[in-house]
Each structure stands twice: as structure tokens, then as C-alpha cells.
Amino acid sequence: MHEEDEKERHNRQLIELLSELRVALPGVQVLFAFLLIVPFSQRFSAVTPLQRYAYFATLLCTAVSAILLIAPSSYHRLLWRQHAKEELLVTSNRLTIAGLAFLALAMTGAVFLITDFLFGGALAVVVAIGIGGAFAWFWYGQPLLRLRD
């Protein structure tokens, strides 16, 4: 079996990272597009102040998520001939982890907002906590627990 050298490993890791970003980015883009049109719907004027703040927080989390998840592509384009692939990978990994955290917050916020609009506060809080807990566990808790072992 061929042992990969450092350059091959960096190339493989970059391809893996870009493939992972191809999974996350369409979700962020769809959520962002949805959130951009919501205020222009007829029923948006009927939202409560809490729903308005939840909407705005969700919109901001989605925007930050898009910024962070797209940043590795920009970083790579600007530095691609600078022989800084390891630095690119380390930075891009951090940006991706942070971008996914903001995506989890945005999706939790969207679930809260919709549940609150449809059913009211108590259920919205319970559902949002459940969804947020699922994101925390499956996206961070399990991998970090495995990393610890």
C-alpha cells in the first residue's frame, strides 16, 4: 500500500473539506433565500415582537454561517499559489466548524420561529431546545466524545 506524503495528504484533505462544504452550502443558501423573502409576505406584519427578534437573529446567524462556510473558497483562491496549503487547511477547518455552529443556530432559530408562529411559545421553546440539543449532540458531542477516546 502506498503511503501518502505530506503534499498528497494536504491535497486529499482539501478535497475532503471542499466536498463537505458542498453539502452544507446549499442548505445555508436555501435558508437564507427563504429568510430574505419572509418579511415581504402578507402575514409577516402579524408576528409578535419575540418572533421579529427571533427572525432577525436567525437571519444574522444564517448570514454569518454563509460567510464562514464560503470563506475557505475565497481563502484558497487568494492563497492558492503561496504554498500555504497546511495553513489553508487549518484555517478552513476552523471556519467550517464555526460556520456549521452558526448554521445549527440558524436552523434552530427557524424551527423556533415557525413553531412559535404555528403553535405558540411553550411548544416552540421545547421544540427549539430539542432541535438545538440534537445539533449539539450529533454535530459536536458525538465527534468530540470520539476524539476524546
For the cut 80, the answer to whether the pLDDT of residue 83 exceeds it is: no
pLDDT (tens digit per residue) in 62-76: 999 999 999 998 888
Please answer whether residues 116 and 51 qualify as being in contact, where contact means their C-beta atoms are separated by less than 8 angstroms.
yes
Residue 1: inside a domain, yes or no? no
Highest mean pLDDT among 3-7, 50-54, 78-82, 86-90: 50-54
Rounded percentage of the chain residues whose pLDDT exceeds 90: 60
Q: pLDDT-based confidence at 46, cuts 50/70/90?
A: confident
The string of DSSP codes covering 102-126 is: HHHHHHHHHHHHHHHHHH-HHHHHH
For residue 11, give every residue at least 6 positions away whose Cβ sits within 8 Å of its Cβ, in sequence order, or none: 85
The string of DSSP codes covering 49-99 is: HHHHHHHHHHHHHHHHHHHHHHHHHHHHHHHTTTT-HHHHHHHHHHHHHHH
pLDDT (tens digit per residue) in 105-139: 999 999 999 999 999 889 999 999 999 999 999 99
pTM of the model: 0.88
In the chain, the number of structural domains is: 1
Q: What are phi and psi of 23, to 5 degrees?
A: -80, -45
Residue 100: inside a domain, yes or no? yes
- Compute the distance between CA of residue 46 and CA of residue 20 in angstroms, rounded to an integer: 38
Domain containing residue 43: 6-148
- Give me the sign of the Cα torsion angle 33, 63, 13, 15: positive
Residue 91: inside a domain, yes or no? yes
Residue 85: inside a domain, yes or no? yes
pLDDT top residue among 5 and 93: 93
pLDDT (tens digit per residue) in 48-64: 999 999 999 999 999 99
pLDDT score at 7: 82
- Compute the distance between CA of residue 69 and CA of residue 148 in angstroms, rounded to an integer: 26
pLDDT, average across residues 93-106? 96
Measure the N-to-C terminal CA separation of the chain; round to a whole number of Å. 27
Residue 93: inside a domain, yes or no? yes
Please answer whether residues 14 and 89 qualify as being in contact, where contact means their C-beta atoms are separated by less than 8 angstroms.
yes
Residue 34: inside a domain, yes or no? yes
